[in-house]
Structure 1
Amino acid sequence: MDQKPGFDIIGDVHGHAALLEKLLRKLGYVKYGKTWGHPDGRIAVFTGDLINRGPEQVETVKLVRRMVRHETAYCVAGNHEYAALCRFCGIGHVHGTDSRITFFDSAVKDPKTLQKLMKWIRTLPLWLNLGEIRVVHACWDPDAIQSILDACVREGALPTLGLYEDVLRSSGEESDAGQSLIAALDQTLKGPEVWLPKTLSYKNAEGKAVTRVRVKWWDRGITTYEAAVISDPSRSFPLEDLRENPFVFKPTVPTFIGHYSLSDTGNFAPLDTAVACVDYGAGKGGPLTAYRWNRGDRLPLDKKRFTVVYP
């Protein structure tokens, strides 16, 4: 891989193309014809979830696709692309996001356009190891990654989102191979979750009761629900001990994630020494966020490297 001066890791866009263009301009990217690039050769890296929620979903996918094709950006798959592929192929499960897949129902009117965009979405890598940094949508789990690589060897395929369809069509969803891959993809693209105590539940943005919550998979020392949950700071969680340990892996290489729709409290900061989330809820009216990594940077990650734009 060519040595680039640096990477700008951009959080979940969720169909907000105009906001993305605003962020690209702030980061110093320039529009060349129909695509965007940085004069210094920097690379934008998207954490996935380009689709659903926002009003400019097709424009968002096309913008990022053009950048990837012109080698001015990389993009990993998110859980919303994963759910969209499930529904598009008519196989497998849709991970509880079926009601939110507006990409098909309202965003794409032309079947030919849908075919072309889904063909590209199938090619999105499930993670990126860029040498100095790593990028994954939700969770960097070495065991899950190895399970996916094992499936790639069996299928003679690459670790892209399309692997899911390949395995389920060749082996079936209920096969050992199918179940193993689904578990690994869920871990990678959705991250680990824990059950809340039976006495506690709350409603999400869609009005559905939530009984499982996303947790800080990189933190070995957490013992209570309050400490474990990646949550809205306005919502309280019990101090009682966790029923299960959510720890997965503590990165020592800078690792960037999206997915978690962190609350905008005005404090944009890394989650840990080597972990930073760049999703601050742009899909829900919040800011679109990026982390600027320069070649040769060292740990710990620096809160001063966040760049933010608001709708």
Structure 2
Amino acid sequence: MTAFDVIPDLHADPGRLERSLAAVDAGARIAFLGDFIDALSGQAAVSDRAVLERVRDLVYSGRAVAVMGNHELNAILFHRLGVDGAALRRHTPRNMAGHRSFVADFGIMTPEALGWTEWFLTLPLWRELEGLRLVHACWSAPAIETVAARRPDGRLRVEDLPEIAARSTRFGRAVHMLVTGPELTVPEGRGFSDSHGDHRRRVRLAWWRHAATTWREAALSVPNPGELPDAPLPERPNLAFYPAGAPPVLCGHYKMQGPPRLEEDNVACLDHPDTPCLYRWRGEAVLREAHLVCA
């Protein structure tokens, strides 16, 4: 059994990366959960280049493994053209703003930017280690089965990108499920205010809450869950929750609030922007709060 110390989203923050690495046990391998790039709003320390070079060196040396995050996938699409001559991820003001720190370091569609996105394509969408599962946003067995039927190692290829960008096929939608997680549109006439005060009708679902039956119980990133219907979720096959007793999963992506904690006995979301943390996995089939370490 190999010990792994698992580090979540870094978002171009070299200080966060170095603090996390300083907390890693000497005998453990490192596992990264993606989203290495694209600084968050208001972030003090920013260097996509420093973070990427450090992480890539650790992966190339065999000290670390990594999975792809949605920001890496977005960058791959942003810096490539479709058959219509437009970028696969449109260069809208919103997309430009979210990708600004990467562009500041590497430019748009430059050889260097494309070189980094080629490296992103070497990162699998998921990893199943010796009793531990790693994914950026959502461990979905149906989505993994769909992707693995074409790409057994979970690594995407350039020819896959147009359908991923369009989400026009089951394969393309499965890829997005793994890096962004499940969302549902609330019933007509309902909605909620997000953390920025914007009105939304699409709500993220905590796919690990296998006991959840209502919108309020299953919702993520909703400041006031009381705005959601106190009603059962619709029954749809792609909303299968991660079962109790399945192998443990560690994910990032969701920008959780409050102190780091386990979500279930077999799932932990490690992405806590206000409290950098990692998880020290030592072969346990049931995750332990004591193995969550603040960096």
TM-score bracket, normalised by the shorter chain, equals: 0.7 to 0.9
Does 2:205 correspond to 1:218? no
Answer whether contact 2:247 2:285 (CA < 8 A) is retained.
no
**CA separation in 2, counterparts of 1:172 and 1:216?**
23
**CA separation in 2, counterparts of 1:119 and 1:212?**
32
Structure 2 CA distance for partners of 1:279 and 1:172, relative to 1, 3 Å: closer
Does 2:43 correspond to 1:51? no
Answer whether contact 2:192 2:228 (CA < 8 A) is retained.
no
**CA separation in 1, counterparts of 2:141 and 2:121?**
22
Structure 2 CA distance for partners of 1:250 and 1:102, relative to 1, 3 Å: farther
Secondary structure at the counterpart of residue 44 of structure 1: strand
Equivalent pairs counted in the alignment come to 276
Query: Following TM superposition, by how much is the alpha carbon of 1:288 offset from its aligned partner in structure 2, in angstroms?
Result: 1.8
**CA separation in 2, counterparts of 1:70 and 1:278?**
24
CA deviations over 1:123-178 (Å, ceiling 9, x no partner): 1111000021000011111111111112227xxxx421x33x32246x89779xx6
Answer whether contact 1:280 1:287 (CA < 8 A) is retained.
yes
**CA separation in 2, counterparts of 1:172 and 1:287?**
33
Answer whether contact 1:225 1:237 (CA < 8 A) is retained.
no
Q: Which residue of 1 aligns with 2:148?
A: 149
Q: Which residue of 2 aligns with 1:258?
A: 252
Query: Following TM superposition, by how much is the alpha carbon of 1:257 offset from its aligned partner in structure 2, in angstroms?
Result: 0.7
Query: Following TM superposition, by how much is the alpha carbon of 1:104 offset from its aligned partner in structure 2, in angstroms?
Result: 4.1
**CA separation in 1, counterparts of 2:231 and 2:275?**
34
**CA separation in 2, counterparts of 1:106 and 1:210?**
30
1:229 to 219, 225, 235: 219
TM-score (norm 2): 0.84
1:32-181 pair list within 5 angstroms:
38=26, 40=27, 42-54=28-40, 55-91=46-82, 92-93=88-89, 98-99=95-96, 100-109=98-107, 111-152=110-151, 158-160=153-155, 162-163=156-157, 165-168=158-161, 179-181=169-171
Secondary structure at the counterpart of residue 64 of structure 1: helix
Query: Following TM superposition, by how much is the alpha carbon of 1:204 offset from its aligned partner in structure 2, in angstroms?
Result: 4.8
Structure 2 CA distance for partners of 1:305 and 1:196, relative to 1, 3 Å: same
Secondary structure at the counterpart of residue 115 of structure 1: helix
**CA separation in 2, counterparts of 1:259 and 1:79?**
8
**CA separation in 1, counterparts of 2:5 and 2:114?**
29
**CA separation in 2, counterparts of 1:46 and 1:172?**
23
Secondary structure at the counterpart of residue 183 of structure 1: helix
Higher relative CO (CA 8 A, sep ≥ 6), structure 1 or 2?
1
Q: What amino acid sits opposite 1:43 in the alignment? A: R
Unmatched 5+ residue regions in structure 1?
29-37
Secondary structure at the counterpart of residue 243 of structure 2: coil
**Which region of structure 1 is more displaced relative to structure 2, 53-62 or 184-193?**
53-62
* Aligned-residue RMSD, C-alpha: 2.6
Structure 2 CA distance for partners of 1:249 and 1:64, relative to 1, 3 Å: same
1:297 to 274, 277, 284: 284
Secondary structure at the counterpart of residue 276 of structure 1: strand
Structure 2 CA distance for partners of 1:49 and 1:168, relative to 1, 3 Å: closer
**CA separation in 2, counterparts of 1:278 and 1:287?**
10
**CA separation in 1, counterparts of 2:166 and 2:191?**
32
**CA separation in 1, counterparts of 2:114 and 2:8?**
25
2:175 to 157, 181, 185: 185
2:261 to 257, 260, 269: 269
Q: What amino acid sits opposite 1:8 in the alignment? A: D
**CA separation in 2, counterparts of 1:139 and 1:14?**
19
Q: What amino acid sits opposite 2:281 in the alignment? A: W
- Report percent identity of matched pairs: 25
**CA separation in 1, counterparts of 2:210 and 2:186?**
19
Q: Which residue of 2 aligns with 1:32?
A: none
Query: Following TM superposition, by how much is the alpha carbon of 1:115 offset from its aligned partner in structure 2, in angstroms?
Result: 2.8
Q: What amino acid sits opposite 2:175 in the alignment? A: L
CA deviations over 1:8-67 (Å, ceiling 9, x no partner): 111111111111101211224xxxxxxxxx3x2x11111111111251111111111000
CA deviations over 1:249-273 (Å, ceiling 9, x no partner): 326101111111100x23x221111
Q: What amino acid sits opposite 2:284 in the alignment? A: D
Unmatched 5+ residue regions in structure 2?
41-45, 83-87
Q: Which residue of 2 aligns with 1:21?
A: 18
Dislocated runs of 4+, deviation >6 Å: 171-175
